[in-house]
Chains A and B, each alone.
Chain A
Amino acid sequence: DTAVSQTPKYLVTQMGNDKSIKCEQNLGHDTMYWYKQDSKKFLKIMFSYNNKELIINETVPNRFSPKSPDKAHLNLHINSLELGDSAVYFCASSQVMSQAYEQYFGPGTRLTVT
């Protein structure tokens, strides 16, 4: 019954590696997002996709590449990981065109780069 799910929950890897985080939502929403939360709990949007199309791409290094195979999935691939990429990454979804705009967040993926 999980609305927005992410895998893995924890990811520990070394600098220079490439890793992916997966996200799925079963809410039937048409918009999905990736957020990064730093150690001070500051949440910042990275990307948004609407019906598999990239809509928002904040100033994120091009080592980060989102991929949306269908509107229920938005994966995040990160190349050449750096220490500064360590953070908690949250996926979220919303139905932009509905009356409500709340975004539903996944449980987060804690990425630690050593």
Chain B
Amino acid sequence: GESVGLHLPTLSVQEGDNSIINCAYSNSASDYFIWYKQESGKGPQFIIDIRSNMDKRQGQRVTVLLNKTVKHLSLQIAATQPGDSAVYFCAENVDLTGANSKLTFGKGITLSVRP
């Protein structure tokens, strides 16, 4: 089965609130993780990444937290906006610098922002 999964299929948040999207992974050898956002009718778009030697990384309005002990990844979106409505995917990678490295995607979670 998949080694990466998301706890909830959908998440509904009020505009302006913070959103937290969670992801579990099972491969302790994974050394790199990415969050992607996919809007309707478009390809996945990179949001933020984190390597396994870090536990937190911040971007613009987004923060990724990595807990290797429990193999858990989360994406926090501050002040959620209607434009954040999309399907979000976490993905993990093993053998980051190898030519045969590949991303394994988890199941998507839909974020719906209520006005």
Q: Which of A11-19, A63-71, A104-112 lies at the binding interface?
A: A104-112
Please tell me if B102 contacts chain A, counting CB pairs below 8 Å. Answer: yes
Question: How many chain A residues touch the partner (CB < 8 A)?
Answer: 26
What's the nearest-Cβ distance from chain B to residue A33, in Å? 8
Question: How many chain B residues touch the partner (CB < 8 A)?
Answer: 27
Please tell me if A55 contacts chain B, counting CB pairs below 8 Å. Answer: yes
In the complex formed, the residue of A with least CB distance to B43 is: A105
B105-A42 in contact (CB<8A): yes
What's the nearest-Cβ distance from chain A to residue B58, in Å? 16
Report which of A4, A42, A90, A101 forms a contact with B49, defined as CB distance below 8 A. A101
Chain B 59-91: CB-based contact to A (< 8 A → 1; otherwise 0): 000000000000000000000000000010100
Beta-carbon contacts under 8 Å, A13-50 to B? 31, 33, 40-45, 48, 50
Report which of B49, B99, B105 forms a contact with A96, defined as CB distance below 8 A. B99
Q: Inside 8 A of B45's CB, which chain A residues have their CB?
A: 105
Report which of B43, B102, B104 forms a contact with A106, defined as CB distance below 8 A. B43
B43-A90 in contact (CB<8A): yes
B100-A56 in contact (CB<8A): yes
A102-B44 in contact (CB<8A): no
What's the nearest-Cβ distance from chain A to residue B17, in Å? 24
A31-B99 in contact (CB<8A): yes
Please tell me if A100 contacts chain B, counting CB pairs below 8 Å. Answer: yes
Identify the 4 closest CB pairs spanning chains A and B, nearest first: A105-B43, A43-B105, A41-B108, A102-B46
Q: What are 27 A-B contacts defined by CB distance under 8 Å?
A: A41-B87, A41-B108, A42-B2, A43-B105, A45-B103, A45-B104, A48-B100, A48-B102, A50-B99, A55-B99, A55-B100, A56-B102, A92-B43, A97-B97, A101-B32, A101-B34, A101-B93, A101-B96, A102-B34, A103-B34, A103-B103, A105-B43, A105-B44, A105-B45, A106-B43, A107-B42, A108-B42
